[in-house]
Structures are given as structure tokens and as C-alpha cells.
Amino acid sequence: MSPFNLQTCARPNILALEPYRCARDDYKDDGTNILLDANENAYGPPVPQSLASGSGSGSSGPELDLLGLHRYPDPHQRDLKQLLCNLRTTHAHTSKLLSPDNLCVGVGSDEAIDALLRCFCVPGRDRILVCPPTYGMYSVSAQVNDVGLVKIPLLPAPSFAVDVPRVLDALTNEPNIKIIYLCSPGNPTGSLLAKEDIRKMLEHPTWNGVVVVDEAYIDFAPDSASLAEWVNEWPNLVVMQTLSKAFGLAGIRLGVAFTSEPIARLLNNLKAPYNISSPTSAIASYALSEEGLKTMRKHKVKLIAQRERLVKELPTVEGVGKLAGGESSNFLLYEMLDKEGKPSNEVALKVYGKLAETKGVVVRFRGKEHGCLGCLRITVGTEEEVTRFLAALKEALREVRGK
């Protein structure tokens, strides 16, 4: 059993925080009330009637009531949260049910990353633990919040697994580590972390802190890989997700943190009162509906087919080395080789620049990340985009390597 104690782990000022409240926390609007409580403009926004009603768009998507934009959005978003619970309750990891009380929704996963730091880490004293190569916003948010950083690299490619003994040793001997941020599937590795490795951190006998698992790419991993529902078994587990990747909704900036009810309560207390806009909520709710999920899964099948195509064809391209990570995301991490057949940052950087500047294809250079020498991260595109990328990569490597 984890020794986690929320009362001593969270910051005292957050535990004592009285959240912002509005009249609609006490009196729910059923659509018939006259709302004179929030200083809104009763005449509505200056948008055309056709746009406000959603007419003329030719779309069968969600109907957005833009005339309603003069009203503040729902501060609690329980209906949206319930749809997320329905999606992630699989009973693969527990028999318990997720409920809206397990969730905090925000502006992308980045809001949750920052909120957790503000909730648990005292500036100038506490630290977080990260396992590079990993998502860069963990360290950026730590620096913004004046929170220290402990880095324990992942094990070498191709596994990119957590170095569990070193992490456990750090939790035992390093002072003031409050949060572990893990990325699964990893970015830029594309590798899924082992559930049992995460369990070992949660089971640490003396450490009083929070384990955060960032599952931004989880829908591209095998079925039931998500640990979201597992938060009902661990008081100090947070699982972050987003609609930016598999759902193709990066533009609405919707992120979610699944966690125990006490931690969710603290996160909801400290968030801005109306942090999810009404259009974001409406679009997300449609995406999580039966029709929306059907479309997402259809698109996912196509993307996975192109991922498999890349895994098959990239090794046949002269100058392309090993797949450096896993295949559990919508991107792949591949080595670019010099003439001697060794991974090369010089070659990778030149190929990266040539692809963008002369071929019109933009990928991501990751060679400066720990364990990613000579690597480019390639997002899986449509069939046409993958065809164009493969042709452009062959030309770029010939030009860079002088063949």
C-alpha cells in the first residue's frame, strides 16, 4: 500500500483554498431562467445569424449555438466528463467505475501539467522527476514554477523502458521529489511503458508523492492499454489524456486528468472557473458520442495502416537506420545514417532542413534528445502524405550523403 498522504503532500495553501464560486454553482440554469448574475451581455455576440445557427456550413457535425456565447460556459462540465468516463471504463485494470468526480478537464494536457506543479510543489524547494527522452513541457513548467528537476534517463533504445531501480533509489534518497512525470506511449520514443514498472513506483514504501502518466497517444497503442481507470486503485496516480491526437482535435485544446477524487477536487478548486469554452465542450462531446467515436476509430485504422507501411518501407531506404523506439503512437523515431552506416546528427539535421526547405515536408529533428542520436521523429500521415514523404526522404538522403 502506498504511503501517500494528500494532507502532507499537497501545498497547505492549496488544501486551504476556497474555490471561486458563482451563482450557477447554487442555481442551475434549466433554459427558462432570466440570468442576471454574471454581468453578461444579454443581446449576444456580433456574429451573423447563419453562423450562429450553424446553417450554411454543409457539415453534419455538432450544431454550435454561437448565440449562446454571451453566456459563460459550464464551469463543471460533468456531462463531458461522463462521456470521457464511459470511454475509459474498460474493466481491464479494475472492476471499479470512473465517475466525473475523478476528472479535471483543462486547456490541453499542458494545463494539467502546470496545475499539478502548483498543487504539490513549493517553489524554490520541491522537485519533480522526469525520464528523458520525454515531453519537454514537464521541465518548462517546472522552471516557470521555480521547481527543481531530477533526470533519470530511460533505458537505451529500443526498449526505452523506465530504469526502475534508479528511480526507486532516487525516491528513497533524493529530498523533496513530489511528482514523477512519465510519458506512455513516450514522446519521442513511441514506446509503451510497462504497467508493472509503474506499479513499483506507486508501491514505493516511503515516498509521499504523485505519479503522473501522460497518455496523449494512448489510442494508437493496443486496446485496453490505458491506465485511466486504474486511478480508482491508487490514491496518488494521475493519468493525463488529450483529444489532440487520435481524435484530431488539437485546435480545441481539450485535455483531461483522471485521478482519485481528493486530487481531482484540489485540481478543480485551483483551475480557472470557466476554463473550457462552450464550443470546445460541444465539439468534444460530439467527438465522444457514438458517431464521433466511430469516425475516430475509422481514421485510426487508416493511420495504423500507414504506420505499418512506414515500418515496412523505411528500412529499404538507403541511409535509414533502425527504428529507435516503439510502434504505439502515431509517429516513428528513425535513425539517419552517415556513409559509414552510423547514426549521425549531422546527416539528420541536413535531411531535416532539406526536407522542409526544398521538398515541402516537415518532420522533427530529435537528435539532441537523450538516446536519440541521429533521429528524426516522423508523424504518420495520410496515404498520399506518406507516399510523398518516402519519395522526398530518398532524394534528401541521396543529396546529403552524396550518392
Map grid coordinates 465517475 to a residue: 99
Q: Are 372 and 188 in contact (CB under 8 A)?
A: yes
What is residue 59's predicted lDDT score, i.e. its pLDDT?
47
Is 114 within 8 Å of 144 (Cβ atoms)?
yes
State mean pLDDT over 152-180.
97
**Cell numbers that stand for 12 in this block:** 497547505
Strand-strand pairing, 331-336 and 320-323: antiparallel
Residue ranges of alpha helices (H) inside 54-96 are: 78-88
The predicted pLDDT at position 70 comes to: 85
Buried b (16+ CB within 10 A) or exposed e, 358-376: ebebebebbbebebbbbbb
Longest CA–CA separation in the chain, Å: 75
The answer, yes or no, to whether residue 403 has pLDDT greater than 90, is no
pLDDT at 224: 93
**Confidence class of residue 45 from pLDDT cuts 50, 70 and 90?**
low
What is the structure's pLDDT at 53? Answer: 55
Can you give the pLDDT at residue 50?
57
Overall average pLDDT of the 128-146 stretch: 96
What phi and psi, each to the nearest 5 degrees, are found at residue 212? -110, 125
pLDDT in the model for residue 58: 47
DSSP letters spanning 140-152: HHHHHTT-EEEE-
Q: Residues 188-235: pLDDT tens digits?
A: 999 999 999 999 999 999 999 999 999 999 999 999 999 999 999 999
Taking residues 78-98, report their average pLDDT: 97
Q: Percentages helix, strand, coil for the chain, rounded to the nearest 5? A: 40, 15, 45
- Classify strands 237-242 and 254-259 as parallel, antiparallel or unpaired: antiparallel
* pLDDT above 80 (res 68): no
pLDDT digits 0-9 by tens, 339-394: 999 999 999 999 999 999 999 999 999 999 999 999 999 999 999 999 999 999 99
Domains and CATH numbers, the chain: 6-22+73-288 (3.40.640.10), 37-71 (no CATH), 293-401 (3.90.1150.10)
In whole angstroms, give the CA distance from residue 199 to residue 180: 13
Nearest-10 crossing angle of helices 78-88, 278-287 = 30
- Cβ–Cβ < 8 Å for 281, 77: yes
Is the model's pLDDT at 300 over the cut of 90? Answer: yes
d(Cα 245, Cα 248) in Å, to the nearest integer?
Answer: 5
Q: Residue 56 has what pLDDT? A: 47
Q: What is the mean pLDDT of the chain?
A: 92
* Residue 5 zone, left/alpha/beta (φ > 0; ψ -120 to 50; rest): beta
Query: What is the percentage of the chain residues whose pLDDT exceeds 70?
Result: 91
